[in-house]
Structure 1
Amino acid sequence: MDALAGLLDGPRARGAFLLRMVMEPPWSVRIEDRAPLCLMSMTAGEAWIVPAEGAEPVLLRPGDLAIARGPEPYTVADRPGSAPQTRIGPGGTCTTLRGDPLSQSTHLGVRTWGNAPDGAANMLVGTYLLDGEISRRLLDALPALLLLPGGGRSSPLLTLLDNEIARDEPGQSVVLDRLLDLLLIDALRTWFSRPGAEAPAWYRAMGDPVVGQALRLLQNEPAHPWTVAALADRTGVSRAGLARRFTELVGEPPMAYLTGWRLAVAADLLRETDATVEAVARKVGYSQAFAFSTAFKRVRGVGPQDYRNGGRLPDRQQSLPVA
């Protein structure tokens, strides 16, 4: 599993939050859900995305795709100066700015929300509600808000998502999750392949025939008792050659990368499963729970059990309609 796959593994297992937003001007929605990632695309009309203070507003037209990276708040509106009328909080809670619930009054149908059934602005919204240490490696490489212009034409994936989002068929949530995953993967690949794109070093290194293979071995088999010599043997190069090339392309030696990857996988296992600390330690290559706990605390600042106890997401409260 590479970090791009890791970004999707947790959210896909739990489900993402998807809806069609239908609005008639004037309108403005303040997003304070602290979600790690949100995809937005217009199917009709236009909208402005206003990031945190100091950043320039971004105009979203039909066919464009925007990705907002949390947890900083932002505003989506008919124009940059429109005052927010609605607040979206953690877990998709929908209230007025004073905190009064709005989900029932703005429910327009299956996965459809807004202030007018025939509003001029139609936006597809897909929000990943879960975060993780593996995905954080990728999310940290993204700007707070990125825009992929569509040139007035929607991608086939956006068209499929638009057709499916308001349907209520058996297994529909799985269909929507997969479509959103594919859309996100395609968008990130496009973003990192742009001329002059500042993709993270490990992402670029994936394209190297030797280092890319070494990275996949480490990521797919973190519990294996790797050494640089064993890794070099599996990739068909000398130990010194692999160590030098890996460090040049990734920015750290192979064993340092492996330690970071093991602890990132462990952090997600602690948060997303009920496996014991000892079981998690074995899954990521530590034969003793004590050694694992010591390494984890050195890097994270807290022990595995304390991390688990503090890493639970709050239960959802008054939420936007999803069905």
Structure 2
Amino acid sequence: MTSSFDELSRSLGVRGSDITHLELDGRWGKHRAAEPGRARLYATLGGGGVLDLPRQRVHLRAGELAFLPRTDAHVVRDGLATSIPPGGSACEGMRQVAASAWSNTREPSSRLVIVDFDLDTRDAPWLGLLSPIVRVPAEDPGLGRWLRETLSLLAGAHELSPSLRQEIATTWARALFAHALRDASASLPGADAVRDERVVAALVQARARPEEDWELGALAARVGVSRSVLAERTTALLGEPLGHYLRRLRIDRAAALLESSDAPVKTIAARVGYDSESAFARAFSRERGTTPTAWRRGRRAGVGQSRAEQVL
């Protein structure tokens, strides 16, 4: 079950990323507002700084990584003596020196790399249970070393294509979220659920085959927990009972098949676990507000219109 956290992290989509390199000296800092649907990584390649969240302060050391899974409101600055007003910044003499690099000195005292991830969180309700900030120490020989080395390489690799940079960023994001799922510092209500690898393993198994008729007691026995514990902790992870979540996941996958294939509705219904086309149509209509056939027609009409606009 050691890969359960890694598999669960794949339920979070990464739509894009931005990488910014900063070389700073003197007093500097910025107040960042909360950014729902985004995550942020601070990598301190040299020097240091301070990261303040509403109820937590982290001193960044050289070689350390600080990951904000939800990009809550925070302040990043060179030190405690530098005051940053809400919505303000203190970065005197900052100038752009490359496409994604900024500097305010020729001899920087601090070197930071900031990676912003644009996320699709619709299938990751567990995100709210993670700690607001997850640290990867400078001495971490695994994830920390790998991330620092690839970040250093990217600092000078401006010739990489956008698609290759996106692949690298997606890999980073999944590794960071898997690390955050394992983090023991989360203290939010329900956080024990996200740290229980047996429960996560059960969720990963059910997610992989939502079309199966999962019986909660049998699934609980498979991973070695009681039925009541599994029910309580999957509800904490998902924000809804596991059965409700899996029904919604079936409909999501059916919708994707309706849009991308010409398979008959009856065939798609069977593929996502429904015994009859009529039962599937009722479930689909409850979730999407329209019939499977109307959904397919509407989505394909929208795609056709989009392609015509591109041509024009």
Question: Which SS does the other structure have where 1:15 is aligned?
Answer: strand
Q: Are 2:100 and 1:111 aligned?
A: yes
Contact 1:66 1:146 in 2 (8 A): yes
Match of 1:122 in 2: 111
Match of 2:306 in 1: none
Displacement of 1:176 in angstroms is 3.0
Q: Are 2:169 and 1:177 aligned?
A: yes
TM-score, normalised to structure 2, is 0.64
Contact 1:206 1:215 in 2 (8 A): no
Q: Alpha carbons of 1:80 and 1:251: their partners in 2 closer, same or farther (altered >3 Å)? A: same
Q: Tell me how far apart the structure 2 counterparts of residues 235 and 135 of structure 1 sit (CA, whole Å).
A: 25
Q: Alpha carbons of 1:269 and 1:111: their partners in 2 closer, same or farther (altered >3 Å)? A: farther
Displacement of 1:140 in angstroms is 1.1
Q: Tell me how far apart the structure 2 counterparts of residues 243 and 152 of structure 1 sit (CA, whole Å).
A: 37
Q: Are 2:117 and 1:161 aligned?
A: no
TM-score, normalised to structure 1, is 0.62
Q: 2:130 aligns with which of 142, 145, 169?
A: 142
Summarize deviations over 1:150-179 as a string: whole Å, max 9, x none. Answer: 249852332222222431234441453155
Q: Tell me how far apart the structure 2 counterparts of residues 38 and 268 of structure 1 sit (CA, whole Å).
A: 29
Match of 1:221 in 2: 209
AA aligned opposite 1:246: L
Q: Tell me how far apart the structure 1 counterparts of residues 52 and 81 of structure 2 sit (CA, whole Å).
A: 9
Q: How does 1:126-275 map to 2 (within 5 A)?
A: 126-137=115-126, 139-151=127-139, 155-171=145-161, 172-174=164-166, 176-181=168-173, 183-185=175-177, 187-188=179-180, 191-192=183-184, 200-207=191-198, 212=201, 214-222=202-210, 224-228=211-215, 232=218, 243-244=227-228, 246-247=230-231, 250=234, 256-263=241-248, 275=259
Q: Alpha carbons of 1:185 and 1:291: their partners in 2 closer, same or farther (altered >3 Å)? A: closer
Match of 2:46 in 1: 44
Displacement of 1:249 in angstroms is 5.8
For structure 2, which runs of at least 5 residues remain unmatched after alignment?
290-294, 296-312
Question: Which SS does the other structure have where 1:288 is aligned?
Answer: helix
Q: Alpha carbons of 1:15 and 1:195: their partners in 2 closer, same or farther (altered >3 Å)? A: closer
Contact 1:49 1:59 in 2 (8 A): yes
Q: Tell me how far apart the structure 1 counterparts of residues 196 and 53 of structure 2 sit (CA, whole Å).
A: 31
Flag the structure with higher helix content.
2
Q: Alpha carbons of 1:256 and 1:178: their partners in 2 closer, same or farther (altered >3 Å)? A: closer
RMSD: 4.7
Question: Which SS does the other structure have where 1:169 is aligned?
Answer: coil
- Number of aligned residue pairs: give it: 268
Displacement of 1:203 in angstroms is 3.8
Q: Tell me how far apart the structure 2 counterparts of residues 144 and 83 of structure 1 sit (CA, whole Å).
A: 22
For structure 1, which runs of at least 5 residues remain unmatched after alignment?
88-95, 298-303, 305-323
